[in-house]
Chains A and B, each alone.
Chain A
Amino acid sequence: MATDLRISNISKIYPGCVANDNVSLQFKSGKIYALLGENGAGKSTLVKILSGVISPDNGEVFLNEKNLKLNSPLDAKKNKIGMVFQHFNLFETLSVFENLSIDATEDNKSLRLRINEILKKYNFSIDLDVPVLNLSAGQKQKVEIIRCLLRSPKVLIMDEPTSVLTEQETEELFISLKKFCDEGILIIYITHKLKEVLSLCDEVAVMRKGKVVSVSQTQNEKVETLANKMVGQKLAKIKKKINISKNKDEIFKVKHLNFYSDDPFETNLVNLNFSVKKGECLGIAGISGNGQNELFQILSGEIITPDTSIIFRNKEIAKLNPKQRREYLMAFSPEDRISQAAVPELKIYENVALNNFKSSNFFEKGLVNERKIKEHSKKILSDFSVNTDNVELKSQFLSGGNLQKLILGRELITAPELLICYNPTWGLDVGAINYIHETLIKINDQEKSTILISTDTEELLKLSDRIAVIYKGKLSKIMPSEEVTPEKLGVLMGGGSID
């Protein structure tokens, strides 16, 4: 029997953020659907609504024209909606079979029989009696899939399934998914990887900022068209005047930056080399999850990598920690402004004291100089037009925009020669974005340099003098931004090549 899943006018609003804005979509069995979007575009919220984890503020879900009340994951299961999350929900110390039998209703003997049937049918090779912790990521995912298949699902939702898989495992997964599809299971595939959409899916819905911005047949799409839809093409024409920096000194130079991690949720970085000139803004574009996090932490000194050389103002700083790098006049504005750049439970002036450089005298002879810190904080609040003058306010009560202004103000108070920022306007409103952009341009005007790691192409094209793209931990060649078009960026961000 054909399955028809319809989402009608779904909205979900979180404080300060519209996660889903009137989303309507229609899916029919026999096809694989992609739900494409950047982190924070609202895919996960939608998926959580479909699987009953959260309930929408508005809107309805229909399965074969039956209005579903999805108040809990149990409701989703009852209605034959299966879900494989990005992070596995398995008990590592229990065996595969024990994991599968936890929520089974039948006796062990018939369950084992049914599991073996599934294994055989889809050519899965998994030993049912080994503990889950001995399995590879791909095998664990298969266990999750089997768990869904045991309930003969009508709908199977896969949330970023390939993020922890090897290429080989990815191929195997695609083969299985196509098989499920042929058997009449409706498959919704959530991803931000463009190539996967093109090679696997029949139809693609693109989400951006909580809205569905396009629904189309994948055969009519290319990597770059999808990339543009995903990151948004309404490019502001205002660009800052390009710095004529050809003959200027290189102030910052990175050589042989390699990073290897055992954690499958981290990205390895492969031999990055780049440099920044005085007064220049170097933009690093890329879809999130391609190594930006790791790159930022290595540049800031939170992660020290062996054999990397980082020269800043003619000094080797690769082995220095963030505090020491600050003394050499570097400054950092991380992506996670809420819980990394600041501590929400701390007062504004205490958050300001986090950037404790030597000449600040915030701490004299190891003692807190509260008066000095507060004076400084007051100055930051007024210089950077944060909408409070109360330095005793806990920073959790600042809006995103005001918090970002505070953080930038704190970082810029040392008049740094180089500011490294990562998604500085993420989640902010237009007013705040403009303010931050003006500030960043001003820094370059004062002959100070910036490195802007951003997933927002519009922002990069507006602010950067030169742009490179990071994809799967590798950096493209660095291009002068006047030669860069959104289309080119789109291709590079999707892993294509432009030569």
Chain B
Amino acid sequence: MIKIEKRDDAPMALYFFTPFIAIILTILGGGIIFYILGFNPIEALKFYFITPISNLYGLSELLLKATPLCLIAIGLSFCFKSNNWNIGAEGQLTFGAIVGGGVALLFYNQEGFYILPLVILAGAIGGMIFALIPAILKTYFNTNEILVSLMLVYVSKLLLDYLVVGPWSNPEGFNFPETRQFSDSSRMPLLFEGLRIHAGIFLALAAVMLSWFTLYKTYLGFQIKVSGLSLKTAKYAGFKGKTMILFVFMISGACAGLAGVGEITGPIGQLHRMISPDYGFTAIIVAFLGRLNPFGIIFASLVVALTYLGAETAQIFLQIPKYTGQVFQGMILFFLLASDYLLFFKVKILNLKKNELRH
């Protein structure tokens, strides 16, 4: 007989081990899907998870995609740890890209070392301002931040749409929905000739270090932790709840804004409609897969970035639509939540004979 018991306290090791269980189950699940679709599962999985990173270019692409995911997820971890459910990072990314891109367009025919820092700063501030909207509405009008932050995603996307079609569209662009190319001074420096990986990765790494320090070594981090575990206690201790909500949203928005600006000044080089393949949403999965831990998030962003790459390779070699990437991302989250069951409950296999004797 199998008995399921509630645990008092999950061992720390298990806490960090369950994401690996989720990844393994995702790969198995993916294999089954490929089999049903009529592919050789081993071969398909190889195309998905190994081929994309078997050369230098692939590794560079992996880091390129992991960079925005990691940045956004770091920001989100501040929100999620303190029980603030900001799911509008995609919107904050877009708005950051709009503000940063706007500054880059101002300088489209100029050169200067000061331009890129200005663009990056503008992007961070843009994301921050956009994240403040749900935060202010939550603190002062008691709205639900999940709905507001999500709906604002569409606002920012439509605004971007309008800008690239209308006022900001490239005058020499034959009415394509895109802006001018940014000048070289607005572009992230490339790390290696011929590869797309750019200096934005240092922003992500800096965010990791800073967030680790803030979350684990400061009073602010302590307040975030307590508020996340028990709002009642936070209130009793007299933490300034409103200030903290505003703060975590600002951090989160700034990180998403940085990610947006990193994309447009990095691989893209202009504004157009498709600046992000839903990095802002996928980063939610990254944050949880990384257990809201800064270093966990680095690892998780690499894993999830691989699902993007794998989907592209699979599209080319197996003619499967690249949206299978989202299937994999969904499975990761699904299996992660499922394996979290192990954290809260332990499964005991009882000796049947003993049990029978008792009855």
Contact = CB atoms under 8 A, between A and B. Distances in A.
B238 A363 contact: no
Interface in A293-348: 300-302, 321-326, 332, 334, 336, 339-343, 345-346
A325 B235 CA distance: 13
A211 B65 CA distance: 65
A368 B217 contact: yes
A356 B233 contact: no
Given A340-B230, A345-B229, A363 B222 contact: yes
A341 B236 contact: yes
Nearest to B219: A363
B219 A367 contact: yes
Contact of B9 (A350, A366, A396): A396
A343 B8 contact: no
Interface in B239-293: 239-240
A353 B225 CA distance: 12
A302 B236 CA distance: 6
Nearest to B240: A321
B64 interface: no
A394 B11 CA distance: 12
A342 B229 CA distance: 10
Contact of B236 (A322, A363, A368): A322
B358 interface: no
Contacts of B217: 367-368
Nearest to B8: A396
Contact-size category for B: 20 to 34
B9 A368 contact: no
A346 B236 contact: no
Given A321-B238, A321-B240, A396-B8, A341 B220 contact: no
B218 interface: yes
B190 interface: no
Given A336-B232, A363-B219, A366-B220, A325 B226 contact: no
A368 B212 CA distance: 13
B219 A368 contact: yes
B224 to A, nearest CB: 12
A354 interface: yes
A323 B226 contact: no
B238 A350 contact: no
A363 B221 CA distance: 11
A336 B233 CA distance: 10
Contacts of B230: 339-340, 343
The 5 closest A-B pairs by CB, nearest first: A323-B238, A322-B238, A363-B219, A321-B238, A340-B232
Interface of B: 8-9, 216-222, 225-226, 229-230, 232-233, 235-240
Interface of A: 300-302, 321-326, 332, 334, 336, 339-343, 345-346, 350, 353-356, 363, 366-368, 394, 396-397
